[in-house]
Amino acid sequence: MFQELEGRHALITGAGAGIGAAISLQLAQTGCRLTLCGRSQGTLQAQAEALREQVPDLAVLIAPMDVADEQAVQAAVQQAQSRFGPVNILVNNAGQASSQPFAKTDAALWQKMLNVNLTGTYHCIQAVLPGMLDAAKAGTPGRIVNIASTAGLKGYAYVSAYVAAKHGVVGLTKALALELARKGVTVNAICPGYTETDIVREAVQNIVGKTGKSEAEARQALAASNPQQRLVQPHEVAQSVLWLCAAGSDAINGQTMAIDGGELAG
């Protein structure tokens, strides 16, 4: 399965941990050539080594960069393209979720959430798109998958800046999907609910600190928003990314796919 992805160049941001690490593994197992991005070189190096243990003949490059820094993104993408050619699959996964009541959401926090989650996505698409379009014209389809969030489709209290940024990612996804529809590139957003990664571990510590709840109670409070009463697992999000990248998904464009156990159905 997914043999058609062999040799494609996939660039994943936030690839060293959590959902991004799970996506890198899924794509590595299809024979894609991978560029792993994130801020920490050490984390990316460790992830590349972990992937090579599972996929010994993997072609993998690490290209550290901060997605909020346009020059750094351009430089990393140039490095990636000179190693593996145009990026065929871009997974915009890097993100941060800081929590504060709106009254304490100062301009710095607001801007940081927009910069990392929304403008970072814009920077990465701008950098890879010319090459992706050329490759698509020559017959290799392009895929842009934005990891948004259920927070891109509904509101949550105490994370207004994050919610605004992720709604922006969903809007960008839809607009760009229309613009690229006849150019061999699809653009979709995956919207996970609470997923078991460092973001949720930090949210649990935050709840413990602010409410006096135990860790188990805090986890349960987050899991309770999922009708399946559990946290989503990173590999479940990664599976949906892989599916969107496959050949059979050519007609899926401009969609938001919730991976949330049914949370948004309620």
Q: Which residues bind ligand NAP (CB under 6 A)?
A: 13-14, 16-20, 38-40, 43, 66-68, 93-97, 116, 147, 149, 192, 194-195, 197-200
Nearer to ligand NAP, 136 or 145 (CB): 145
Nearer to ligand NAP, 192 or 261 (CB): 192
The Cα 19–Cα 6 span in angstroms is 21
Q: Give min distance, CB of 39 to ligand NAP, in A.
A: 3
CA 95-99-103 angle, to 5 degrees, is 130
Q: What is the dihedral of CA 64, 127, 173, 200, to 10 degrees?
A: 10
* Strands laid side by side in the 89-92 sheet: 60-62, 33-37, 9-13, 89-92, 142-147, 185-192, 256-259
Q: Give min distance, CB of 29 to ligand NAP, in A.
A: 19
The Cα 137–Cα 187 span in angstroms is 16
Nearer to ligand NAP, 132 or 153 (CB): 153
Q: Give min distance, CB of 159 to ligand NAP, in A.
A: 10
Q: Give min distance, CB of 166 to ligand NAP, in A.
A: 7
Nearer to ligand NAP, 116 or 132 (CB): 116
Q: Give min distance, CB of 124 to ligand NAP, in A.
A: 9
Nearer to ligand NAP, 135 or 257 (CB): 257
Exactly one of 122, 156, 158, 162 is catalytic; name it: 162
State the Rg of the chain over Cα: 18
> Which three-class secondary structure state does DSSP give residue 39?
coil
> 194 an active-site residue?
no
Q: What φ, ψ does residue 166 adopt, rounded to 5°?
A: -70, -35
Q: What is the dihedral of CA 165, 166, 170, 176, to 10 degrees?
A: 50
Alpha helices in the chain (DSSP H): 18-29, 41-54, 70-84, 107-113, 120-137, 160-180, 198-211, 215-223, 234-245
Which residues are the active-site residues?
Answer: 162
